[in-house]
Chain A
Amino acid sequence: MSTGTSGLQATVDLALKEGIRAGCSDVSIIGSRSLTSQVRFSNNSITLVNSVRNITIDFYLAKNRRRILGSSSNPTERGVRSFVQRLVSACESLPESKDYAPLPSGPFHYQKRGNYDPKVADAPLVDYVNEAIESALRSGALRVSGSLNTESTQSIISTSAGANADDKVSMMLLNVRAFADDNASGHGLSCTSFISDFRAGEAGRRAGEYAKMSLHPVQLEQGKYDVIFLSTVVANILPVAGAASAFAIQTGMSYLADKLGQRVGVESLGVMDQAVPERGLGGRSFDDEGTPTQDNDVISRGTFSTILHNTTTAKKFSAKSTGNAGIIVPRPNTVVFEKGGVTFDEMIKDTRNGVLITNNWYTRYQNQRTGEYSTVPRDAAFKIKDGAIAEPLFGLRVSDSIPRQLSSIEAISTEREWIKWWEVDTPTFAPAMKISGVPITRAVGS
């Protein structure tokens, strides 16, 4: 079986036909062909060049209200037939699903706009990496680490209910971490779907400048502070679109449970799940059930306005699918925060005694249902004194609750950035935010 576009379509068609032939009432097949390339670097030098070509076939089958999911990396005719047989056989042994709902039937109209640039697959990664490293070094770093990943993926869906669509998406994701010494580092990202929007030097410069500013950090006293979180942090610690998934609500693990239609944040807070943001990062035109994706207001003027659904959860909640399947877990396609009314510089100027946190990692929940969590700032963090960035900080931790934070947002920046990296999986267009009264703790010891 060929592996080009026609070959991928033929593989999807075969899988669909085999599923129907085996007596399945519902079959959804998604074939994906991807090329990912990567250059990793550390200590100012390339450590790995990496290139992976994959074809995967994702299956959803239902037979007599019994449901099963599958994923196979074997696109050969024999492989597809054998995998469908195995799935059907396993499916027949499962109990009936009380939550079963038939796949949505068409006709469907899919938006044609895609965040895809064919030039991404041939991007000169080594040159870009060298540009990022040199830019960071020029800006004050002594050593630079990171990775540049490009992804080009074509996906085709066919369902037994008549959905047929294809989609292409490309991404360039640069993550730069610069060190001015072991305790002074800065972070920079450039995340885009289009090569012409890519800014390797800018990401390196930002990382390098923050690293230099972070030299000779001091410890912060524990207490509550007004904190300005850069967009990289906002995208990680306020995953409200994920909490809006019907799955998170059903499983009792969402702080938005029981809050539909209620005020959950300040009035200036708006968060949208966008299908394919125009000239944004990623997105998709169809979900895993073949439903066309759409733009969903998750939080509108501070009010929780939409639960993200697939057809199964929609049936359970007496709602309609929002085009966010996952067969088991509805998920946002992208997350877009509304822009605010002040610039980042104004936000700093308006802060008398606060903290600036530029990056973070390791966010963990004590209680997912109530949203109590902590996270560890990493890279540059600073005191803000009398409207200006002051001394750098180290060894701090944010220990707070998401509902409290959503209601304590004091300012949202006009500037927004696309974020996707190690700590943020769903492409997120996030602003910087100033949140009041954030508890900051630190470790005890020598």
Chain B
Amino acid sequence: MSQDLVHIAVERALQRGCEYAEARWQRTSDQLCYVRNGEAEPSVISDAEGIGVRVICEGALGFGATNLLDVASVTELVENVAKSARGASSSIKEERKVRFSSEEPGVAKWGVEEKKKAEDVSLESIIAFLKEIDATLRSPIADVSFPNRNLAVWKGIDEKYYENSDGSRVESRVPRFQYYGTMLAMYEGKPTSISIPPGYSGLGGTGGWEVIENLDLVEYVPRGALEITAGIKASASPPSGVTLDVILGPNVAGLTSHESCGHPGEADRILGREGAQAGESFLKPDKLGMQIGSEEAFVSDDPTIPGSMGFYLYDDEGVRARRRKLITAGRFTEFLQNRATAYYFNIKSNGSSRAVQYDREPIIRMGNTLIEPGDWTFDEMIRDVNRGVYIKSFMEWNIDDKRLNQRYVGLEAFLIEAGKLGPAVKNPVFEITTPKYWGSIDARAKDLEYTCGTCGKGDPMQGAPVFFGAPHIRLRNVRVGSR
């Protein structure tokens, strides 16, 4: 029935004179289990199911959605969307009218395999699992106690059927699991709020319950807590006002790939479409090929990584997904494109258009953004530093809306002196411009790691599941400060 309604919507839009139409049935089924201080809070089950319709009518883009899944409601929706778009058309100058790039229609049925099916995993077993993790934090670790512990597992199944008037027909099913935990740490009467993994990140990916099992969280979480105690106990300030070298752990470096490469490389921001919300970009349309960093700067975005949180094979415009090489040897070599921006650039879309729910328009999103691994080991990097700071993990971060001025504040961090790791330092502040950041990288390790995040963009807001990835990286001749 839902596929019939999608087809009816596309046909009806064409009958109403739209030059392009697409419709997407989408059901997102979410389940959240949450354990606080060893006790289960109410679990949450939510289903959102409906149809979103997008049209181009006389050069105006219209979108609408409904969760009333009957022919009359969908027909009424299409009539309204077409009418609204046509009504807005006269206000749009000819050069601003929306046109799509010509693309090979996507015809596919794809999904993610689950070894242990998401539907078969009971709330009861997830809660028991979370309690088991919680038990590892009930006693102090290295003199640090954790009196407030909030642990959660989220499970989501995202099902779609998509059609457009260019012939695309794509059906998909993606199950996802994610773990995250925040806690209050107390040391000598002083409270510090943290997360494991740090930076409010999560761990997980696409697949069945095996995604969580493979993380070995009962071992990982207390080990993570033990490592973080170094940062919690640290009292020494980092060296400030001097030029030194910085090594960033994958937890920090992964986020930089997202914030200061992926986002400014989104073509809709570059063209100003997100100006009033997520912002614009320091990059301009003619800056493709611009040297932004050193020869060691390599960043990609790849939605096709098996098991990744941002995994997909076709985007929500029916375009086949592929790896995008965003920065190659320091040059911006590719922007993230949808069909509208690809038309502007006179190229093909690279399949970056996603919508998180049926009632959201598809917009340009990252999938899994990563700094490509190099051939160094972490130990080799350290040995080659005379004076520096190793920022292993962070909590606070932000960046301006052109993506030029960013900051990461370390949680677990150490001095590096004469090629060796020294004592822990308290909350080093790494505040740097984007060109300086990418221009200062001189080494990348082999040890690529990923964490999960939710990328916020759009109006209304759309939180998209993504991976952040990076190995350890080293930056020469930069500065850190302190809070």
Which residues of A come within 8 Å of B, CB atoms? 3, 36, 38-40, 42-43, 45-56, 60, 67-75, 83, 86-87, 90, 93-95, 97-99, 126, 129-130, 143, 145-147, 149, 175-177, 179, 182, 250-253, 327-328, 361-370, 372-376, 378, 395, 397, 399, 422, 441-446
Contacts and interface: CB of A to CB of B under 8 A. Distances in A.
B348 interface: no
A51 B433 contact: no
A145 B275 contact: yes
A39 B361 CA distance: 13
The 9 closest A-B pairs by CB, nearest first: A445-B436, A445-B433, A252-B148, A252-B184, A145-B275, A362-B398, A366-B396, A71-B46, A177-B276
Given A42-B276, A422-B461, 20 more contacts: A36-B460, A38-B460, A42-B275, A45-B92, A45-B96, A46-B60, A46-B92, A47-B96, A49-B81, A49-B88, A53-B65, A68-B44, A75-B67, A83-B47, A86-B45, A145-B272, A362-B400, A364-B398, A397-B407, A443-B431
B122 interface: yes
B125 to A, nearest CB: 9
A182 B400 CA distance: 13
B67 A367 contact: no
Contact of B84 (A42, A49, A252, A395): A49
Contacts of A175: 276-277, 459
Contacts of A446: 433, 435-436, 439
Contacts of A395: 400, 404-405
Contacts of A253: 148, 182, 184, 193
B238 interface: no
Given A51-B64, A70-B46, A251-B148, A98 B193 contact: no
Interface stretch (B33-41, B202-210, B441-449): B33-41
B51 to A, nearest CB: 11
B147 interface: yes
A94 B431 contact: no
A129 B90 CA distance: 13
B148 A147 contact: no
A380 to B, nearest CB: 13
A143 B183 CA distance: 45
Given A45-B93, A375-B398, A376-B400, A444 B62 contact: no
Contacts of A363: 398
B399 A147 contact: no
B422 interface: no
A310 to B, nearest CB: 11
Interface in B268-316: 271-277, 279-280
A367 B63 CA distance: 40
B61 A51 contact: no
Contacts of B45: 68-71, 86-87, 90
26 contacts: A45-B93, A45-B96, A46-B92, A47-B61, A49-B63, A49-B85, A49-B87, A49-B88, A70-B44, A73-B49, A73-B50, A74-B67, A90-B43, A94-B43, A97-B39, A99-B39, A126-B87, A147-B276, A252-B148, A361-B401, A366-B396, A369-B192, A441-B429, A444-B433, A444-B478, A445-B437
Contacts of B61: 47-49
B378 interface: no
B253 interface: no
Nearest to B89: A46
Contacts of B47: 71-74, 83
A444 B432 contact: yes
Nearest to B84: A49
A45 B91 contact: yes
A38 B478 CA distance: 45
A4 to B, nearest CB: 12
Given A53-B66, A397-B398, A443 B405 contact: yes
A47 B273 contact: yes
A55 B73 CA distance: 12
B396 A146 contact: no
A180 B396 CA distance: 32
A93 B125 CA distance: 9
Contact of A68 (B43, B48, B88, B405): B43
Contacts of B88: 39, 46, 49, 126
Interface in B76-116: 77, 80-81, 84-85, 87-88, 91-93, 96, 98
A69 B44 contact: yes
B389 to A, nearest CB: 14
Nearest to A60: B42
Interface string B343-378: 000000000000000010100000000000000000
A13 to B, nearest CB: 19
Contacts of A399: 429, 483
Contact of A145 (B191, B276, B483): B276
B251 interface: no
B396 A50 contact: no
B96 A369 contact: no
B193 A367 contact: yes
A86 B119 CA distance: 12
A121 to B, nearest CB: 12
Given A45-B96, A94-B43, A444-B436, A374 B407 contact: yes
Contacts of A39: 88
A86 B481 CA distance: 53
B395 interface: yes
A42 to B, nearest CB: 5
A251 B147 CA distance: 9
A176 B405 CA distance: 23
